[in-house]
Structure 1
Amino acid sequence: MGIKCFLMTLGKTTVEPVMTPMMNYVPEEEGDWWGTCMARWVQLKRHALGFSDFSYYFMMLPLVFSYSSSSVSRNTEGLQGFWRMLSYGTTLLIRLVNVHVLIGVLSTYGAMEAMLKLIIKLCFRGDRLPDLLFLQVGVFPKYLMIVTIFFTILVSAVFFVTYEVLLKKRVEGHAQYSLCVHWLKNLIGLALGSPVYFVMLGYAIWRAALMVLTQRSFEYHVAPKPKQAEPTQSSLAGGHDPKMA
C-alpha cells in the first residue's frame, strides 16, 4: 500500500511511525512445537511474496509517466514530479533489494558453497591442495563473519538491557530466568537454528521469485497466533478484565 500511495502521489507520500502501546505476537501453535515451526514457515512464505512489489513498481512506471506527460495532469507537477518520484523511488528499490534479493542470494550462496567444498574434497586428489584453495578464498568471508557475529552479540546485548529496563515488567511480569541465562539461551538457539532458517528463507524467496514469473495472482495464508483467553463467569462477576491482566 505504501508503494501504491508513493506512485500515485508522485513521491510525495511519506510514512511516519505511530508509537502505540501494543505488542505483536509471533506465530505460534499452542501446545505443538512442530506446529509453531510450520506457522512460522507459513508466515515466511507470505512475507517472501513481497518480491512481487518489484514487478508492480516497474509495471506502474510507464503508466505514471504517461499520465504525467499528458494534458490531464495540468494540475500536478507533470514530468518534473515524475522524475522526482523516480529519483526518490531508488531508495524503495534499495530497500526491496536488501530485504528480498540479498537475503535470498546470500542464503543460496552459503548452501552452494558448502556443497561445492564437499564435492571438491570428495573428487579432487590430495596433491591438488583443495584446503589451500579454501584458505585463500575464505579470508574475506571469515573476517566478515567475525564482524557479523561481534555486532550481532553487541546489538542483542543492548536490546536485552533496554528490554530489561524499559519493557520487561510491563510485558512479561516476573522473569523465569536471569538476564544472562535468558540471553545465553537465545544465543544457543540462534546458533543452532540459524543455518536451517536462512536456507529455508532463501528457498522461500526463490519460490516467490518464480511465482512472480509464472503466476498472476497469489494465495496468501495467515499464520496462527496465540489467542487471548476468553473471560470466565467468575472473572466477569468479580469485575476482573482479563485484557488488563
Structure 2
Amino acid sequence: MITFAVLAHNEEESVAGAVAEALAAAGAGDRVVAVDSGSGDATAERAAAAGAEVISGPVGKGAAMRLAAKHAGTPWLCFLDADLVETSENIAAVLRAEALRADESVAMIVGEFSDPPPEPVLGNTIALYPALVRALFPEADGRFGRRPLSGFRVVRPDLMADVPDDFGVEAHLNLTVAVSGRPFSVTPIGMYRQRFRYKPDMGLEIGKAILDLAVSHGRVAPSARPAWDGWVASLAATMGSYRGDPGDRDAFRAHLMAAAAAPLPPTGVK
C-alpha cells in the first residue's frame, strides 16, 4: 500500500491535475492526500474538489513532507510535486509500479525526470549540490541520477523523522540513505514540464542541509563551518541572479559553472 502525497504551496492552477494523476495511479488500499503548505490561494479547495484528502500544513517543503509521513500509515510514501504543467507519463503510476517491485530492504526510489527543450538551468542540481557532495560525501556522488534533487520519489516513512523544514529535504534524504548503506534505486519517470518560480533561498537551504550532515558526520569541523557557509552563500548569490530568461541561458550556465569551480574551504578535519 502507498500513500501519494501531493505537496502544494500556492498551486491552485495545477494541483487538480497532480491529484488526478495520483488518483488514476492509486490501487486498492492506497491513499491520495494533498498537503496544503501554507497556501494563500484556493489550492486546498481545488485539491479537495479533485478528490484528495487535504491536510493543512506549514510553509516549508520538508515540514509538509514530514507531516505527510505522520499521516501516511502505509509502508511507502510517494511524494509528488503539484506544479505539473505537462508530463509524458503518469509519474505517480511509474513510481508506484517501481515500489511494488522493490525488495522490502529498499529505503527510497528517486524519480529521474527529463526536461523539455530548452533545458532549464537547474543551478542547485548542476553546481551547488554536486560540488558539495563530491567533496564531503563521495559515497553519494553521482549515485542519484541526473536529477538528484527530484521531488518525485518514494520513501519509507521512517526516513522523514529528522528532515529539514525547507528545500534541503531531498539532499538530506539522499545523503542519509547513502551514509546508512540502505539500498535505493533511481528510475526514469519521463518528461516533466514545470513552472519556473524564483526561489532565492533554495540554494542556501540545500547547502545548509548538506553542511549540517557534514558536521554531524565529522566531515567538516564546526570551526570550519563558517567558511563553508560563505562558499554556499556566494554560489547561491550567483544562482539568484538568473530569472529564467532563455536568452541568458548559455551565458549564465557558463558563469555559474565557473563560480562552482571556485576552491572549497578546508574541512578542518584531521
TM-score (norm 1): 0.22
Query: More helix by proportion, 1 or 2?
Result: 1
Query: More strand by proportion, 1 or 2?
Result: 2
